[in-house]
Amino acid sequence: PELSEEPPAEMVKMTKSKTFQAYLPNCHRTYSCIHCRAHLANHDELISKASGFNKCNFFFMQSFQGSQGRAYLFNSVVNVGCGPAEERVLLTGLHAVADIYCENCKTTLGWKYEHAFESSQKYKEGKFIIELAHMIKDNGWE
């Protein structure tokens, strides 16, 4: 099944002779599939800092880990399909996740958090992990 979540209409430019389902505006920094360059996410949708305090009350940043290395967590994505949800034990505990893949080239990119079983992980529900190994920065990254 396809993802039903779509960014606001003003963020997406649709064309008649399109290669992808959605194009993100050229004026925004975006992330694209490294394999086929389909747009995946706007930089504004990146959740770059999941913060908290450790036992010594020192501020820390949480980094995200995919199956193939570092990954980013996004609020929303475009041009992805979603597989069936399944329960997996991840580094942060038990979650129900569904693999996501590029709609254009069918490469598995990461997953969508459908359900978190631990209360401290509930903020991830409905959000998307994309592995850095599968995306490239586009538009305005200098």
What are the 10-residue block averages of pLDDT along the chain, 142 residues in total?
Answer: 48 46 70 94 77 38 67 94 95 93 96 95 94 86 60
Q: Which residues pair with 130 in a beta bridge?
A: 72, 110
- The reported pTM is 0.72
Token output for 18: 């399109």
The predicted structure's pLDDT at residue 141: 60
> Can you say how many angstroms the Cα of residue 11 is from the centroid of all Cα atoms in its chain?
16
Instruction: For residue 36, give the DSSP letter.
Output: T
Who contacts 99 (Cβ-Cβ below 8 Å, separation ≥6)?
A: 82, 83, 108, 110, 111
CATH for 30-50+71-138, options being 3.40.50.2000, 2.170.150.20, 1.10.390.10, 3.30.420.40? 2.170.150.20
The predicted structure's pLDDT at residue 17: 42
